[in-house]
Chains A and B, each alone.
Chain A
Amino acid sequence: DAGVIQSPRHEVTEMGQEVTLRCKPISGHDYLFWYRQTMMRGLELLIYFNNNVPIDDSGMPEDRFSAKMPNASFSTLKIQPSEPRDSAVYFCASNIRGAQGEQFFGPGTRLTVL
C-alpha cells in the first residue's frame, strides 16, 4: 500500500486566496483525521471522519475552514479566504478502529500564506 497520500506537498498563496488540500487515506481505513502543526501550538486536531461522516469538527478554527469526505478514498480541507496565520503544516492521517487504532500519517502539506 502507498500509505496516506497528500497533495500538494507545498503550497504558497497570497492572503485572500482559496486553498484546497487533498488527502487519500489508506484503503480500508474507516477513520480519517486532519491535523495542523505550528511551532506555537504543536499538533492540533481539526476534524475527523468515520465512514465519510464528520464526527468531531470542534477543532476547526473558523468558518473559513471546511472539510469534506465525498467517498472513502478522498477528503479535502479548504480554507477560504486564506490568511497569513493559516501558515502551517497540515497532516492527514487514517486508521482502522479495533486494530488498536494506530494512526498512519501522510507526508503533510506545508502551507505558506503571504
Chain B
Amino acid sequence: KNEVEQSPQNLTAQEGEFITINCSYSVGISALHWLQQHPGGGIVSLFMLSSGKKKHGRLIATINIQEKHSSLHITASHPRDSAVYICAVRSNYGQNFVFGPGTRLSVLP
C-alpha cells in the first residue's frame, strides 16, 4: 500500500463546478502539502497544513489528522485551474516529503 494515495486520479469538470480532490495517508505526519503543477511543468505550493482548514481565494484545504485524510476544494472552478494537484506528506521523523501520484484536473469552458 502506497503511503500517500489520491482520488480521483483524473477529473473533468465544467466551468463553475465545485471540485473536491482527496488525499489519504498511512503514516504519522507533521505536515501535509498541497501542490499545483501546471502543464508547463512548474510546481507551486498551494497550502501547508498540520491541522484544521485553510482558505486562499477559491481554494480551501482541510485536514483530519485522526482519519489521516485531507481534501482540497475548488469553488467556482475555471479552465485556468486545469493542472495536476499533488498531495505530499512530511513524516514525524524528518524534513523530507512523500508525494501522492497526483490528480489531473481538466476544467472545460
Name A's B-contacting residues (CB within 8 A): 31, 33, 42-45, 48, 50, 55-56, 89, 91, 93, 95, 97, 100-105, 107-108, 110
Contact = CB atoms under 8 A, between A and B. Distances in A.
Interface string B80-109: 000000101010001111111110000000
Main DSSP-derived SS at the B contact region: strand
Given A43-B86, A45-B96, A102-B33, A89 B41 contact: yes
Given A56-B96, A101-B30, 9 more contacts: A42-B100, A50-B95, A95-B95, A100-B31, A101-B31, A102-B45, A103-B45, A107-B42, A110-B41
B50 interface: yes
| Closest 3 pairs (CB-CB, A-B) | A105-B43, A43-B99, A102-B48
B41 A55 contact: no
Contacts of B33: 102-103
A54 B3 CA distance: 24
A81 to B, nearest CB: 26
Contacts of B88: 43
B92 to A, nearest CB: 12
